[in-house]
Amino acid sequence: MEVLVVDDDPAGSAVDVCAETDGIILLSQAGQGAANARNAGATVARGRWLVFLDDDCFPRPGWLDGLLTSCQHDHSLLVAGRMVNALPTNPFAQATQELLDFLHEVDNGSNGSVRFVASSNLAVSRDSFLRLGGFDPSYPVAGGEDRDFCARWRAAGGRIQICGNATVDHAHPMGLTGFCRQHYRYGRGAWRFHSSIHTHGSRGDRSFRAPSYYWRLLTHPLQRHPPRQACLLMGLLGVTQLMTTLGIVRESVGGRRP
């Protein structure tokens, strides 16, 4: 096993941390984005299997064994682990987790078919990953590149599976400003994803969601939380959709300016 860290921070914030641990391979890039960072690590990696982990995710015991056991040497299989919010008292982190959980429930069929998983906890054959071209580096910010990769993976005949024994705790503290900025970026990525479907085809669903989808999203917390907490999360989920819409409008009007 080898550990590669790709530092996308122009200030090089990972340098000191990586220097404290022997055996870490550190790659640096100056603000080129998550897709480029993951591709850079995959290109340098020497193993047969790639495991992607974001820097705010903390693996639980058995995480790596769970992912690799699920792969079972099947190069057509993309395996994702579970992600759990590690900051339950932070309403912004909890609302983002609520959104992700809802997307997984809606996009992944009851018959076991899986269409979308987040790239923050993922295992895949290196050869298959590189053959597909990795993550699309044209996505300007983090958000959408994982959905794009999943769609291309399935279009190429690959399968996606969720491993319940590979759990990470996601600790991403946010305030209102960071929360809005994150979902604004997701909107920008969503526009690019749907535009690429329209242009190139064969990447999945060509249409945006029906109104009933958004109602189910907004009321989703009522099924999982006490009334007071559910109302707060419902309001924040409404904010996510507002910011996503603004990100979509920005991309549709202004193209891909920084």
User: Quick check: 247 and 183 in contact, CB under 8 A?
Assistant: yes
How confident is the prediction along the chain (258 residues), in pLDDT tens digits per residue? Answer: 899 999 998 888 888 888 888 889 999 988 888 899 999 999 999 999 999 999 999 999 999 999 999 988 899 999 999 999 999 999 999 999 999 889 888 877 655 678 889 899 999 999 999 999 999 988 867 778 998 999 999 999 999 999 989 999 999 999 999 999 999 999 988 888 887 764 444 444 445 577 888 888 999 999 889 999 999 999 999 999 999 999 989 888 875 544
Q: What does DSSP assign to residue 13?
A: T
User: Quick check: 213 and 205 in contact, CB under 8 A?
Assistant: no
Helices (H), the chain: 15-19, 34-44, 63-71, 91-107, 126-132, 145-155, 176-200, 211-219, 227-254
User: What domains appear along the chain, each with residue ranges and CATH number?
Assistant: 32-254 (3.90.550)
Tell me what pLDDT residue 258 has: 44
Q: DSSP string covering 116-164, please?
A: ---TTEEEEEHHHHHHHTSS-TT-SSSSSHHHHHHHHHHHTT-EEEEEE
Task: Name the one residue in this structure whose structure tokens are 């559910």.
Answer: 230
Tell me how far CA of residue 188 lies from CA of 106, 139, 258, in angstroms: 21, 9, 11
Tell me what pLDDT residue 253 has: 85
Task: Name the one residue in this structure whose structure tokens are 């404290």.
Answer: 20
